[in-house]
Amino acid sequence: MDSRIVENEREGDRLMKTIKKVSMYEMIAEEIKKYINDHQLKKGDKLPSVAELTSILGVSRSSIREGLRYLEGFDSIEVQNGKGIFVKEGDALKIEAKIDVEQEKNYLLHISELRRALEGKAVELATLRATNEEIEEMDQLITEVIRLRDEGIDSSEVDWEFHKAIYRASHNPLLESVAESVSDTFNKLWSRPFGIEHIFSDTLPFHSTMLDGIKQRDPAYALQEFNKIIDAVEHTVRRI
């Protein structure tokens, strides 16, 4: 095949990956943010009414209200019944930053829910099926994670290898295959979310106790400690 065709296909793939589905309320929120920015509105300034925004943007009142509720959820505007719509945050960049952080939080929480379902089952099965060699591998990997973190070195890659070892030790090829297929998504939890290094370092003790449960062939205990990992992750994400 012509190398130029291959390159074009790759470029096409990259372009396709950048396309994001945007909801109507998000588009309306963008237009309202643009209006705030273009008119240099400040905190306390009044926005056009719902009826006026409907006319300006050419969309339904219900869509305008959805967009307003979306921005109100980020504390960017305030809708006062009988009085109007007021700006609470006039800096468009700050509004965008709030929205970006909130969307990232929701995305990470969804990933965490998926991990709880998939990896929780892998932990249970690994407790019953892992060979001594597989347990030894997990032990070496978690020891390496602890060493790297103690030395202030990025341990995310080794940490992910530890979790992959659990999937392998489940001896369920379909479960392992599903986990591998969403590995890029899972890695969002290992790749410095919000730009914070070692953001989930408080989960490390539970990694060790979960492994203790696997070693002891105690699925209830291992799963209990795994759920503590997920609980800690979700708690950290929510408080960002």
Residue 89's pLDDT is what? Answer: 66
Residue 205: CB atoms within 10 A of its CB come to 14
Residue 11's pLDDT is what? Answer: 47
List the structure tokens of 131.
């060979």
> Does the predicted TM-score (pTM) go above 0.75?
no
Q: Which residue has the higher pLDDT, 195 or 40?
A: 40
Rounded CA separation 232/205 (Å): 11
Q: What letter represents residue 202's amino acid?
A: D
Across 27-31, 38-42, 132-136, 156-160, the highest mean pLDDT is recorded for 132-136
Question: Tell me: the pLDDT tens digits for 167-215?
Answer: 999 999 999 998 888 887 777 666 666 555 555 678 889 999 999 999 9
Residue 129's pLDDT is what? Answer: 97
Residue 105's pLDDT is what? Answer: 78
Half-sphere exposure of 221 (CA within 13 A, CB side): 13
Residue 16's pLDDT is what? Answer: 43
Please give the C-alpha separations between residue 192 and each of 45, 155, 197, 202, in angstroms, as whole numbers: 38, 11, 5, 14
Mean pLDDT of the chain: 82
Segment 137-147 shows an average pLDDT of 95
* Burial (CB count <10 Å: 0-12, 13-18, 19+), residue 148: middle
Helix or strand run (H / E) with residue 41? none
Strands 84-87 and 77-80: antiparallel
Q: How many helices (H) and strands (E) does the chain have?
A: 11, 3
What's phi and psi for 85, nearest 5 deg? -115, 125
Question: Tell me: the pLDDT tens digits for 54-90?
Answer: 998 999 988 898 888 888 877 788 889 889 999 886 5
Rounded CA separation 28/87 (Å): 16
Q: Which of 8-22, 175-189, 224-238 has the lowest mean pLDDT?
A: 8-22
Half-sphere exposure of 88 (CA within 13 A, CB side): 15
Domains of the chain: 24-90 (1.10.10.10), 95-239 (1.20.120.530)
Across 5-9, 54-58, 157-161, 163-167, the highest mean pLDDT is recorded for 163-167
How far is C-alpha 33 from the geometric centre of its chain's CA atoms? Answer: 24
